């Protein structure tokens, strides 16, 4: 077992923590027994909890799960799958100088200068559903489903240009290669394919299109039920389907995609996850139905397996691609894989056993195994936690040494944890305990409320923010590292909020929103002054978006940008 030490826990008495990160909702029960689950899904993200409901027999559950006596699909340790944050569907994208915002009701894309809040609406073909900003440029690809078109919108020297390429088919998503030379048009799993033609994708040679060459688009058959598209540089695209990977050599112009069948246990969309190395050279797949990781070497077109003691309930890869961390909840283990070395030498995988104090167990000393991991951007630190069982703690894990320590100073159950861009701060989103029987009436209210805790990981201290009936929907960390924001929503469209967080002082302050928040994200920063900005879209029939300066606690809002913009 790896060496461990415990951080001092704060007394459970005063203000304390609450609820979650990006929008996801889960019902869980006791750490030592029953549980239920409700989940969501999103484009390109495979959420093992998605689509799970009641069951009468094991056959009613996805592969890797079994039906328990309470009629709930659970994993081999008797607990439901971990609930991961779903990725928001289509949100604004930022170049260095502009926000590109889809305006589907107006069949337009809105360009917003985040410094001046100058707005321009650009008409595009009907029903724009997705967009991708071209790396390093003030330009974007815009996919229109009903209009059956891909548009290239560029801004150069203040001059706006729009080129339209007919697609001939309704597609639901566009994915762009890192170098911007090729794009893949595809239909995400769960969406009805155009004319019932499953698994058809289009390869768009964006460079040829921009050079004025003819026929820059070609269609290929690539399996079915696509969940993600990954790129190996500008050379290959890998489309992850239900039971196979389809590999497309982008420059070759081949009429067929190369198919690689996934091994048994990895062909269930609901209980697996696929992650790519940052450079796209390989894919790692985990599944609740298999005690191993599947490894796909894209260049060699080779699929292999890395045996594990138990199925991995979560997997994360560092931003630099030097390591991966997998969590094996049923055995309480955390596996650290040096990359790419572990792919050829499974003996280099290091294992640590980690246990968290249980929060709702009647047995003294009851512990909970972590089921999720979130790596800091540099891979030097990871947080380990679980939301399948009630816990008021998480573990700080050091992959290089395999050591870990418990942060036990939380007041409420953990739902999700987000790490700041510098890895020095965390925001813990909690889930309420509506059945709390705490003798102290105030503590009972704390248990039953919504909220989050801001944590300084260096000092080992945290500060709770109660949000009442408002559910934390999304946490956004500004690029500068010191500031963050939490978007809040309640049961009706009139209940909402936005909190600005100073991660150094742990002080939070509300920002005035004009309407309920939808999506939020950081803005690129060319200067230190710009490093504390975020954007947030809000509900409004004609469109509404705000740009916040978190260091100044100010928010400027544009309303009606699909029509005539007004700045507040």
Judged on CB neighbours under 10 Å (0-12, 13-18, 19+), 340 is middle
Q: How much is the pLDDT for 562?
A: 61
Q: pLDDT, tens digit, for every residue of 545-559?
A: 899 999 999 999 988
Q: Is residue 506 part of a domain?
A: yes
Q: Is residue 527 part of a domain?
A: yes
Q: Is residue 554 part of a domain?
A: yes
Task: Tell me: cis bond preceding 391? Omega within 30 of 0 counts.
Answer: no
DSSP state of 326: E
Which tokens sit at 561? Answer: 């940008």
DSSP state of 96: S
Q: Is residue 308 part of a domain?
A: no
Q: How much is the pLDDT for 421?
A: 85
Beta pairing, strands 507-511 & 517-522: unpaired
Q: How much is the pLDDT for 18?
A: 27
More confident: 234 or 20: 234
Number of structural domains (the chain) is 1
Q: pLDDT, tens digit, for every residue of 399-458?
A: 999 999 999 889 999 999 999 988 999 999 999 999 999 999 999 999 999 999 999 999
When pLDDT is averaged across residues 384-401 and rounded to a whole number, the result is 95
Establish how many alpha carbons lie within 13 A of residue 6's alpha carbon, considering only the half-sphere containing its beta carbon.
Answer: 9
Q: List 5's β-bridge partners, or say none.
A: 405
Of 138, 110, 117, the C-alpha closest to 549 is: 117
Q: pLDDT, tens digit, for every residue of 69-128?
A: 999 999 999 999 998 865 444 567 888 888 998 888 789 998 988 888 888 889 999 999
CA 206 – CA 386 distance, rounded (Å) = 43
pLDDT for 48 beyond 60: no
Vertex 163 angle, CA 567 and 279, to 5°: 85
Confidence grade of residue 29 (pLDDT, cut at 50, 70, 90): very low
Q: Is residue 64 part of a domain?
A: no
CA 230 – CA 228 distance, rounded (Å) = 7
pLDDT for 343 beyond 70: yes
pLDDT for 156 beyond 50: yes
Q: Is residue 518 part of a domain?
A: yes
Structural domain of 556: 477-568
Which tokens sit at 461? Answer: 């201290």
Q: How much is the pLDDT for 561?
A: 67
Confidence grade of residue 215 (pLDDT, cut at 50, 70, 90): confident
| Torsion angle of C-alpha atoms 24, 29, 33, 38, degrees rounded to 10 | -40
DSSP state of 494: T
pLDDT for 397 beyond 90: yes
Q: How much is the pLDDT for 253?
A: 83
Confidence grade of residue 362 (pLDDT, cut at 50, 70, 90): low
More confident: 356 or 115: 356
Q: Is residue 404 part of a domain?
A: no
Vertex 430 angle, CA 426 and 433, to 5°: 160
- In three-state form (DSSP H/G/I as H, E/B as E, the rest C), the secondary structure along 331-400 is HCEEEEEECCHHHHCHHHCEEEECCEECCCCCCCCCEECCCEEEECCCCCCEEEECCCCCCCCEEEEECC
Q: Is residue 450 part of a domain?
A: no
What three-state secondary structure class fits 178?
Answer: coil
Task: Count the neighbouring beta carbons within 10 Å of the beta carbon of residue 260.
Answer: 16
């Amino acid at each position: 077992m790896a060496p461990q030490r415990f951080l001092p826990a704060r007394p459970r008495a005063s203000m304390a923590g609450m609820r979650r990160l990006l929008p996801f909702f889960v019902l869980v029960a006791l750490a030592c027994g029953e549980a239920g689950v409700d989940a969501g899904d999103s484009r390109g993200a495979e959420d093992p909890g998605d689509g799970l409901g009641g069951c009468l027999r094991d056959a009613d559950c996805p592969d890797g799960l079994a039906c328990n006596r309470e009629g709930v699909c659970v994993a081999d340790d008797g607990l439901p799958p971990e609930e991961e944050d779903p990725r928001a569907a289509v949100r604004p994208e930022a170049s260095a100088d502009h926000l590109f915002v889809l305006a589907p009701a107006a069949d337009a894309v809105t360009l917003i200068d985040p410094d001046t809040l100058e707005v321009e609406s650009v008409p595009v073909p009907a029903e724009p559903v997705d967009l991708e900003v071209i790396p390093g440029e003030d330009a974007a690809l815009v996919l229109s489903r009903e209009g059956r078109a891909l548009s290239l919108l560029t801004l150069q020297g203040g001059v706006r240009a729009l080129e339209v390429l007919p697609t001939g088919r309704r597609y639901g998503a566009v994915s762009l290669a890192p170098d911007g030379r090729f794009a893949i048009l595809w239909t995400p799993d769960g969406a009805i394919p155009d004319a019932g033609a499953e698994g058809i994708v289009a390869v768009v040679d964006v460079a040829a299109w921009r050079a004025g060459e003819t026929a820059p688009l070609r269609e290929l058959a690539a399996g079915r039920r696509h969940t993600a598209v990954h790129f190996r540089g500008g050379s290959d695209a890998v489309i992850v389907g239900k039971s196979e990977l389809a590999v497309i050599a982008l420059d070759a112009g081949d009429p067929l995609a190369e198919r690689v069948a996934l091994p048994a246990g990895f062909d269930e969309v609901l209980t697996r996850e696929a992650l790519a190395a940052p450079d796209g050279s390989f894919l790692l797949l985990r599944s609740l139905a298999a005690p191993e990781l599947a490894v796909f070497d894209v260049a060699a077109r080779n699929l292999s397996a890395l045996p594990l003691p138990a199925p991995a309930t979560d997997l994360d890869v560092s931003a630099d691609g030097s390591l991966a961390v997998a969590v094996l909840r049923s055995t309480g283990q955390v596996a650290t894989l040096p990359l790419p070395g572990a792919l050829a030498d499974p003996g280099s995988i290091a294992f640590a056993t980690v246990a968290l104090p249980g929060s709702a167990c009647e047995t003294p000393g009851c512990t909970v195994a972590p089921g999720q991991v979130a790596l800091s951007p540099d891979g030097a630190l990871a947080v380990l936690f679980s939301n399948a069982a009630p816990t008021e703690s998480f573990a700080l894990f050091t992959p290089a040494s395999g050591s870990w320590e418990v942060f036990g100073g939380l007041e409420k159950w953990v739902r999700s944890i987000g790490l700041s861009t510098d890895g020095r701060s965390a925001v813990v989103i909690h889930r309420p305990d509506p059945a709390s029987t705490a003798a102290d009436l105030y503590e009972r209210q704390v248990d039953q409320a919504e909220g989050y805790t801001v944590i300084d990981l260096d000092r080992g201290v945290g500060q709770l923010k109660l949000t009442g009936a408002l559910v934390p929907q999304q946490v956004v960390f500004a690029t500068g590292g010191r500031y963050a924001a939490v978007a809040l929503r309640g049961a009706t469209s009139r209940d909402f909020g936005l909190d600005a967080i100073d991660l150094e002082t742990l002080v939070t302050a509300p920002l005035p929103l004009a309407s309920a928040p939808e999506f939020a994200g950081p803005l690129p920063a060319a200067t230190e002054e710009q490093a504390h900005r975020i954007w947030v879209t809000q509900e409004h029939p004609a469109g509404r978006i705000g740009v916040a300066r978190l260091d100044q606690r100010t928010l400027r809002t544009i309303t009606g940008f699909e029509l005539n913009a007004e700045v507040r």
